[in-house]
A and B are shown apart, each in its own frame.
Chain A
Amino acid sequence: MARAFVIGIGLTAFGRHPDRSVEDLAAEAVVAACEDAGVEWRRVERFYAAHVNQGVSAGQRVIREVGPSGIPVLNIENCSAAASTAVREASLAVRSGEMDLVAVCGFEKMQHGMLLNVHPEDSPEVATGATVLPMRFALMAQKHMDRFDTTLEQMAGVSVKNRAHARHNDKAQFRTELSLEDVLGSRMICDPITLFQCSPTPDGAAAAVICSESFAARRGRGRAVELRASGLVSDIDEQAHNVFDLEMVRSNAAGVYERAGIGPGELDVVETHDCFSVAEIIACEKLGLCPEGEGGPLLESGATRLGGRIPVNPSGGLLAKGHPLGATGLGQIAEIVTQLRGEAGKRQVEGARVGLTSNMGMWSSRIHVLGV
């Protein structure tokens, strides 16, 4: 297949925007991405809109603000992985030769309060209190502590690291540092996950403009970043066997590495889905950044901090940047694009040329490898 490139990104600040509509936020991100790409909206051939709880055909409502050009609009809901799913579909559309220039936007205005695994009101999951999302990651954390002696301090250390990274990200919701004591001493939500080990739920939007190889060749590569490979794997372990694990991330990563022609050792920077602190520790293992069971020691060694062997979540991750469900995957991709362009300022990973995003939605893993 032909190649696909990200030539523009746009992000709103992730945070509370009580006075702005979701259409307004998304339009800001789309316009910013077009300006960053140096392309006019009228040249965009298709619009992919990623969102979770924003009502039907929210993408069409966004187009009304940006410019009703008559292009096809696709709305994509895939829980927290909606935006990275949309980017994958968009990249396949240009790689197949069907499209030359497309735009993707993920957006969400969030409800306050805890993340939920939303079920119908009358479902047994609601009645038994099983929709509380941190519960799933708390179970993984307990098992990881039991099997591999992972410590509370190692898990809390993920929040400390990512909050420190976000000091230098003006789009992040939380930009103040936390100590290990702050994280461990915050309110217990689902043992052993405390409040500051849960990602906040801001409003926000993130967009990208993606073009084909021939489009990039005509206008010059410039600051383009290639979408080298991607993968989408949905879970069997939980759906068939009630087992909460991130095995889907391991199997997805294996396929993506093969298609990208690289191994985890060739990555310079990673954005991974730290919806809860333990998720980053397990994902580091599943992505092959360390052996199974050693995600805790990897964090403790400082290897995943800025300046370390393989910086993870230089943006601050979901834990600090925030987790506006439909926008999250594109928030990750925008960070990697910024890093690979060398435009990340004080949070720049020096010399980064290959980066990976690992995004999860309920029961699915989406991974992208980007490179320059």
Chain B
Amino acid sequence: MTPGSRSVPDIAELQPGITTGPGTRGDVRLVGQRCAACGTRAFPARLRCVSCFSDSTERVELSRVGKVDAFTVVRQPPPGYRGHVPYVLGQVVFDNDLVALSHLVGKPVGDWRCGDIVASYAFELPVGAGSVPHRTFAFYPASPQDLAEA
């Protein structure tokens, strides 16, 4: 995928509500949860708090900029995956201490390094037998504007 695909049109969401709607640059915020009882945050949101198991949780929009903690280039895709191969999956630490497992896109697969600074954007992925385009999220190399807004 090229950075040009960031401005994803209004298509079905893979996981409804997991991000905010895309901004003009295709930028999205991931939406997690904060526990009203103990304050623990989690991404993605669950039925209950992951720490105290309270059901009194609220949705929270998370900051877009994060750091690649680990990554791998998947060269042999699993059955059912319809996207581009090879692809990069990484663990991104963002909004202080949350971790997301995410596609990393926006530069050649061999150029990723632990410690890369990234930001969340909308990302289009073909899904299912019909390869129907869906909107999900991915982390791209953070631009100066991403950093300025963070």
Residues on A facing B (Cβ under 8 Å): 114, 116, 121-122, 124, 126-132, 135, 138-143, 146, 187-193, 239-244
> Would A116 and B70 be within 8 Å (CB), given that A127-B127, A130-B89, A242-B99 are in contact?
no
Known A129-B89, A190-B75, A239-B50; 15 more pairs at CB < 8 Å: A114-B78, A126-B79, A126-B80, A127-B82, A130-B101, A135-B89, A139-B70, A139-B72, A139-B91, A142-B70, A143-B114, A187-B75, A240-B50, A241-B98, A244-B91
| B91 adjacent to A116 (CB under 8 Å) | no
Contact of B78 among A132, A139, A193 (CB under 8 A): A132
- For the complex of A and B, list the 10 residue pairs with the smallest distance between their C-beta atoms, beginning with the closest: A138-B72, A129-B81, A240-B50, A126-B80, A143-B70, A139-B70, A242-B99, A146-B114, A132-B78, A142-B70
CB-nearest residue of chain A relative to B138? A128
What is the distance, in angstroms, from B69's C-beta to the closest C-beta of chain A? 7
* Closest partner residue, chain A, to B137 (CB atom): A128
| A126-B134 Cα distance, complex, nearest whole Å | 13
Question: Which residues on B sit within 8 Å (CB–CB) of A188?
Answer: 73, 75
Closest Cβ neighbor of A129 among chain B residues: B81
- B-side residues, CB < 8 A to A, are 14-15, 42-43, 50-51, 69-83, 87, 89-91, 98-101, 103, 114-115, 125, 127-128, 134, 136
Give the distance to chain B from A187, nearest Cβ to Cβ, in Å: 8
The docked-state distance in angstroms from the alpha carbon of A126 to that of B128 is 9
Nearest CB in chain A to that of B84: its residue:
A129
Q: How far is the CB of B18 from chain A (nearest CB, A)?
A: 8
CA distance A32 to B100 in the complex (A): 48
Give min CB distance, A162 to chain B, whole Å: 22
Most chain A beta carbons < 10 A, residue from B81, B82, B83, B87: B81
Q: Is the CB of A129 within 8 A of B71?
A: no
Task: For B15, list chain A residues within 8 Å (CB).
Answer: 124
Docked Cα-Cα span, A326 to B103, in Å, equals 31
**How far apart sit A132 and B75, CA to CA, in the bound complex (Å)?**
10
Task: State which of A121, A143, A190 has its C-beta within 8 Å of the C-beta of B69.
Answer: A143
